[in-house]
Amino acid sequence: MLRSLILCCCSLIILTAGEALNVQGVGRCETSHPSFREVALTEALVDAARKGGVEIESTTKSVNFQIAYDQVFARASAAVRGWTKQSEVVHAASNIYELTISATVAPGDPKVTDELAMINLVRMKGSPRLALAIDEQIKGVVAGTRPFARPVVEAAAQRLKLNLVDVGLASEKIRQLAQHAEAVGRTESAKLFGRDLPTKADLLLTIAVTGEHRGTIEDTRGNRRQAVFIGAELRLVDPGLGQVLVTEPVPQSPDPLLLAPDQPIAAATEQAINHLLAGLIPNSTDSPLANEAPLLRMFRRIVANWTVEVDLGGMSRLNLTKATRSEWNVIKDALGKAKGVSVVIPREFDADAISWLDLAARDKVDVLADLAAEATKGRLGVTRTEGSNAYLDPVPQTASATTAATATGDLPAWVWPAVAVLAIVVIAVVVLARRK
């Protein structure tokens, strides 16, 4: 459900002062939104803050709440000292996810910045293991001169106390261990090392930087300046599900960034990227949020995503190959009643191919997959798990399985009455024979 709130340049206005209040907040969002839980939690926090006497109002334009949820999340969380989940539900008819929280609201400091609010959240909730994958394609700059964007991103992440992990080093180490295990004949150990690959990072931030260094040009005052055109696209990826959660394009400005002519080209390029990620270069989009620091905005979304994971449980996906409609329904019902599962979200059903559903749960995906297999009474079995994905395939019906089914009474309905009649006849014959 798309909802618009007045929030672009958000400020917290204290309406009442006094002690902290315990209130209830409700948030909703369509499950088709890739960050539906973050949006719903943000709306619930805003609702709770408002009921506790803290309003969020705008000084500029109105923007779509589902696009700018991260901005409100940082500010609203500063006014809410703590919260716990009361209930979660997905309304099947509308595919609306509804979250109800119990929150403690206290008027906060309206001067609290987004960065400080996020640092406080990281201290309370911890940090996800964040991996970086950065690709730079900049014409006019020698490839491999040095990484330009990475130092900028790492410095910003460190200020927010985020936990950066080096996926490259971890992957190489795990690959070496798997190769060694395979070489000495420990095949099962090698498989375990291979399965560990997607679990070394909770979130992956990819940044693709494109641009061009066009040498020096003359500015409006007749001075020579280095001209750099620069743009980027930031993506937040759940490596377990293989799902893109957020895409943040930062288009190139039609006008170049003009820099001092005596700078080395590499230094000028790094300065241009720094300006771009800090929102200091006007770009070509008309969004009122276009010139806000895109890197800060992405980090806000990372903190919001992790807060949801900590408070509401992680997301897992079950992929069911050629599941029947009855198996699909049985699995949904069984998981919906499971203690560790908060929400079951049916995504797609296809009896001839792969059906899949998403789960918000405290349990790991292998536990959820086993529950699903048990619900089908062995008709589907778990074949593999990868990250937050589990795959279930039909179990072949062997001769022994058929025999076992027969032994446990999987026979036509007329068989047992016939057996009973036959037994009565045999008994009668025996009795008559003895009387003679």
Alpha-carbon distance 213 to 191, whole Å? 46
Alpha-carbon distance 329 to 320, whole Å? 12
Low-confidence ranges of the chain (pLDDT < 50): 1-18, 57-63, 169-170, 172-174, 177, 188-198, 283-290, 399-410
Please state which CATH class domain 313-394 belongs to.
Answer: alpha beta
The helix/strand/coil state of 160 is: coil
Q: CATH code for 4-112? A: 3.30.1660
pLDDT value, residue 367: 93
- The answer, as to whether pTM is greater than 0.75, is no
Enclosing H/E stretch for 366 = helix 365-375
- Comparing CA positions, the residue from 256, 294, 260, 289 lying closest to residue 274 is 294
Ramachandran assignment for 126, one of left (phi > 0), alpha (psi -120 to 50 degrees), beta (any other): left
* Domains 129-310 and 313-394 equal at CATH topology level: no
Per-residue pLDDT reduced to its tens digit, 384-417: 988 889 999 999 876 444 444 444 444 555 656 7
**Residues 6 or more apart in contact with residue 286 via CB below 8 angstroms:** none
Q: Are 299 and 156 in contact (CB under 8 A)?
A: yes
Domain ranges within the chain, ordered by starting residue: 4-112, 129-310, 313-394
pLDDT value, residue 340: 82
pLDDT value, residue 70: 79
Q: Are 104 and 80 in contact (CB under 8 A)?
A: yes
pLDDT value, residue 193: 41
253 forms bridges with which residues in the sheet? none
Please state the φ and ψ torsions of residue 78, each to the nearest 5 degrees: -70, -25
What DSSP string describes 163-209?
EEE-HHHHHHHHHHHHHHHHHTT-HHHHHHHHHTGGGS-SEEEEEEE
What is the β-pairing status of strands 203-218 and 129-139? parallel
Q: Are 344 and 356 in contact (CB under 8 A)?
A: no
- Other C-beta atoms within 10 Å of 247: how many? 12
Question: Which residue has 């001092």 as its token pair?
Answer: 260
CATH architecture observed for domain 129-310: 3-Layer(aba) Sandwich (3.40)
Burial class of residue 16 (count of CB atoms within 10 Å of its CB; 0-12, 13-18, 19+): exposed
What is the β-pairing status of strands 129-139 and 163-165? parallel
Per-residue pLDDT reduced to its tens digit, 305-342: 899 988 888 889 999 999 999 999 999 999 999 988 98
Q: Are 345 and 336 in contact (CB under 8 A)?
A: no
Q: Are 253 and 260 in contact (CB under 8 A)?
A: no
